[in-house]
Chain A
Amino acid sequence: MPLRRAFLSALLFSLFFLLPLRQTLAATPDLEDRTREIAAELRCVVCQNLSVADSPSEMAQQMRAIVREQLAAGKSPQEVRDFFVSKYGEWVLLKPKTSGVSAILWWLPYIALALGVTIALFVLRKWARKRAAQPHAPQPLTEQTRSEILREEIALPDIEDTSARAQLLRERSRLRAELQELEFDHSAGKLSDSDYAALRQEVEAKAAALMAQLEATPSEPDRKATPAKKAAPAVDTTSTESRARLKRWQLITGGAFLTLFGLALGVLLTQSIKPRTSENDSMTGDFMTGTSSGSADARAAMAEGKAAFGKQDYPKAIAAFKKVLASEPNQPEAHTYMGFILIQAGHGDGALLAFEKALATAPNFPIALWGKGMVLYQDKKDYASARDIFEKLLNIMPPGEERNEVAKVLAEIPTAGGAGPKTAAPAPAAKASGQTISGKITVDAKLKDKLDPQAALFIIARPAGGPGGPPLAVKKIDKPAFPLDYALGAENVMMQGMPFTGKINVTVRLDKDGNPTTRGPGDLTGEYKKNPAEVGSKGVDIVIDQAM
């Protein structure tokens, strides 16, 4: 049987491939070539998807040197490979071994191939047999003739009908019966192959002639159907229906499988393959060690936010970072930038919260640590905690410009005076007083009657010789009672991080509506007569002597 032969040859064919692959190593006289050959088979431990031969990393260089050295010492390539396997395990080989458990990797595809071929042949044979077993499958008969004969058989005319067409139809039915009988005899073995073919051809020729005649004869309307006519189409419809259902099912399952497969692959790949953050990074690996995956949208928003932040376009940056956080609520970088924007806006508490959110996801995120430290240091004056943060940061950061900056800030933080219990406070007062301007504010006698008891007093400090714009520090005192002792210090600075030092112009305003940005009639003002004043000086007395 030809099919069986085909099956056997296919099996032999796959067996040929199944033969263990023999490692044929051409004799390479040149040490460099041999080194390269072995290095090409070793996985670079830094960038896992490159071989030691191709990787530019320092480690790969060192590994190449070891290969060269061992080959020069007379070790065989297999010994060199074994050396690396004994150190790193088998994953260091780009090609898994053909023995042991890893042999499965080599054999499995061929086994699957052989299995597939076997199954395919088996199925094909089944189909072929099924087809041969079908009673009405005379090959040479044209498709049309055959179907005509089958169809007409069920539409037998009435016995009384003597029209030409009816006679033709009866003849067809007879031919059909003859054909069936021939096939029956042939399948029963009563008829030889050659006889069968000859007789069949005879009948078919008659049938073809009849068909032509029938086509020429007009059909007569309204023929009574025989019971056979009713039964046969019924069978036909059920079988075609179930076949259609089967086809539909096959389509649905096939489609569902493809969709699932695509989804699984899509999700897995996007989840596990991450962009390399550096040339030392690997592309796959633990979900946990991966960098933020995120959607393309979120990444775009992140980049947009950073760009806007760089241009100090804060509203746009806030919108972008909010977009990032909407899709990734724990994105540490977005939280961190939000924190810096909040610092700019003077919301120390909000900023602290943002940095803490960032650090909750990425406890060692340097920029968030920096931000938190700065808020604690300059806004909260919690020197002990700020110190802890900066020390941690200093520990983590490799030497460089940025690290020096951290060290500088750490050195600036007063060792004492913080709320931390760790540090004793030997002389906080001296240091603190050095950072204030203090004095007495009085009201000129001629303005006494213009004094509004509900007004708010603003003490305003502007850097001497500096540009206009917002003041450096402002202190507001509601319903002041004069004469009034005041002190202006770093805690009154408006912009976080601005030092309260140097020469400063001090003015005061008694504002009727309590809004520092509006100046209306009835506001009283005054200034330090010897402006500017040095930060740290006392007795900076001010007389309110002007009315607007």
Chain B
Amino acid sequence: MEAQNTEPSTATENGGSIRRLIITLLIIGPVLALLAYGFTRDARYITSPLMAKPAVPFTITLFDGKKLSLDDLKGKTVFLNFWASWCPPCRAEARDLEAAWQKVKDQNMVFIGVALQDTDEASREFLKEFDVTYPNGKDESGKIAVEYGTWGIPESFFIDPQGRITYKHVGGIRASVVVAKINEAAKGIVSAQEGKGDYQPVR
């Protein structure tokens, strides 16, 4: 009697423990995998909620004293670039931006540079050093930067003639990409993903 009782019950116990183990691994495996994946991500690279949204209007005082308002640029394609003179990737891309500007300035396009967390003097020096000819101004209070969700500079935005943000690029950008993306913006094509390059976190 006893013999018949104990034998099969341990057998099922054995099979049960393996099943239990598999179930445990099935639960814990994905959790661990998710954790591993999460560790490799930078939360800041979650796609900006600004994509395909209307660009927030702002008015900026340029270094030459004139005022520039985004609202006045409706109907034009706008390239907006946030930079600082202390940021190496900004320095690295500066010539590319000017080169791109030279290529498209005769079309219905505008470049705007916005200096962040920088002194007037250093900013002016930067512009002089890289022979920047497109309009540049300073974001005194950092408000424009926050409006555009800036966290790593240089950061560039492309705005179509209807005033919609079509593309965002965090980090250094090449002249060819600027030209390609501003042409897309002129046609109102919204990119699905943001671009990435070498960046420096804001201060």
Tell me the A residues contacting B by CB distance below 8 Å.
Answer: 45-46, 48, 57-59, 62-63, 65-66, 84-91, 231-232, 234-235, 238-239, 242-243, 245-246, 249-250, 253, 257, 261, 264, 268-269, 271-272, 280-282, 284-287, 289, 364, 395-399
What is the distance, in angstroms, from A83's C-beta to the closest C-beta of chain B? 9
Interface assignment of B47: CB less than 8 Å from any CB of chain A: yes
User: Other CB < 8 Å A-B pairs besides A89-B47, A232-B3, 12 of them?
Assistant: A45-B202, A59-B202, A89-B48, A232-B2, A238-B7, A239-B7, A264-B32, A272-B39, A395-B92, A396-B92, A397-B88, A398-B87
State the CA gap A63–B13 with chains docked (Å): 60
Interface assignment of B98: CB less than 8 Å from any CB of chain A: no
Known A58-B202, A89-B149; contact A243-B36, beta-carbon cutoff 8 A: no
User: Helix, strand, loop or mixed for chain B's interface?
Assistant: helix
Known A45-B44, A399-B125; contact A261-B32, beta-carbon cutoff 8 A: yes
Interface assignment of B133: CB less than 8 Å from any CB of chain A: no
Does the CB pair A89–B151 fall under 8 Å? no
Does the CB pair A284–B142 fall under 8 Å? no
Shortest Cβ-Cβ A-B pairs, 5 listed? A62-B142, A45-B151, A272-B39, A285-B42, A235-B3
Which residues of A lie under 8 Å from residue B3 when comparing CB positions?
231-232, 234-235
Which residues of A lie under 8 Å from residue B151 when comparing CB positions?
45-46, 59, 88
Does the CB pair B49–A87 fall under 8 Å? yes
Which residues of A lie under 8 Å from residue B40 when comparing CB positions?
272, 286-287
Does the CB pair A246–B13 fall under 8 Å? yes
Which residues of B lie under 8 Å from residue A281 when comparing CB positions?
201
State the CA gap A231–B1 with chains docked (Å): 11
Interface assignment of B141: CB less than 8 Å from any CB of chain A: yes
Within 8 A of A (CB), among B28-59: 28, 32, 35-36, 39-50
Known A57-B203, A239-B7; contact A62-B14, beta-carbon cutoff 8 A: no
What is the distance, in angstroms, from A291's C-beta to the closest C-beta of chain B? 14
State the CA gap A89–B142 with chains docked (Å): 18
What is the distance, in angstroms, from B54's C-beta to the closest C-beta of chain A? 12
Which residues of A lie under 8 Å from residue B88 when comparing CB positions?
364, 396-398
Known A268-B36, A395-B95; contact A88-B149, beta-carbon cutoff 8 A: yes
What is the distance, in angstroms, from B75's C-beta to the closest C-beta of chain A? 25
State the CA gap A85–B6 with chains docked (Å): 62
Does the CB pair A286–B117 fall under 8 Å? no
Does the CB pair A62–B201 fall under 8 Å? no
What is the distance, in angstroms, from B168's C-beta to the closest C-beta of chain A? 12
Can you list 20 A-B contacts (CB < 8 A)? A46-B203, A58-B117, A58-B142, A58-B202, A59-B142, A63-B142, A63-B146, A66-B143, A87-B146, A89-B149, A238-B7, A246-B14, A253-B21, A261-B28, A261-B32, A268-B35, A272-B39, A272-B40, A282-B201, A396-B88
Which residues of B lie under 8 Å from residue A284 when comparing CB positions?
39, 42
Q: Which chain B residue shows the least CB distance to A256?
A: B21
Which residues of B lie under 8 Å from residue A364 when comparing CB positions?
88, 92, 198
A231, A243, A250, A268: which has the most chain B beta carbons within 10 Å? A268
Which residues of B lie under 8 Å from residue A250 when comparing CB positions?
17
Which residues of A lie under 8 Å from residue B143 when comparing CB positions?
62, 66
Within 8 A of A (CB), among B128-151: 141-143, 145-149, 151
Does the CB pair B50–A87 fall under 8 Å? yes
State the CA gap A234–B4 with chains docked (Å): 12
State the CA gap A48–B151 with chains docked (Å): 10
Q: Which chain B residue shows the least CB distance to A62?
A: B142
Which residues of A lie under 8 Å from residue B44 when comparing CB positions?
45, 48, 91
What is the distance, in angstroms, from A124's C-beta to the closest C-beta of chain B? 15
Within 8 A of A (CB), among B5-23: 6-7, 10-11, 13-14, 17, 21
Give per-residue flags for B80-120: 1 if the beta carbon is below 8 A from chain A beta carbons, else 0: 00000111100110110000000000000000000001000
What is the distance, in angstroms, from B203's C-beta to the closest C-beta of chain A? 5
What is the distance, in angstroms, from A225's C-beta to the closest C-beta of chain B? 17
Interface assignment of B177: CB less than 8 Å from any CB of chain A: no
Q: Which chain A residue shows the least CB distance to B86?
A: A398
Interface assignment of B192: CB less than 8 Å from any CB of chain A: no
* B146 in complex: contacting residue of A62, A235, A289, CB < 8 Å: A62
Known A59-B203, A91-B46, A396-B91; contact A239-B36, beta-carbon cutoff 8 A: no
Does the CB pair A66–B39 fall under 8 Å? no
State the CA gap A264–B33 with chains docked (Å): 10
Which residues of B lie under 8 Å from residue A58 when comparing CB positions?
117, 142, 202-203
Give per-residue flags for B174-202: 1 if the beta carbon is below 8 A from chain A beta carbons, else 0: 00000000000000000000000010111
Does the CB pair B91–A239 fall under 8 Å? no
* B10 in complex: contacting residue of A59, A63, A242, A280, CB < 8 Å: A242
State the CA gap A280–B17 with chains docked (Å): 50
State the CA gap A290–B108 with chains docked (Å): 41
Does the CB pair A243–B10 fall under 8 Å? yes
What is the distance, in angstroms, from A279's C-beta to the closest C-beta of chain B? 9
Does the CB pair B47–A46 fall under 8 Å? no
* A286 in complex: contacting residue of B11, B41, B202, CB < 8 Å: B41
State the CA gap A62–B203 with chains docked (Å): 11
Which residues of B lie under 8 Å from residue A249 when comparing CB positions?
14, 17
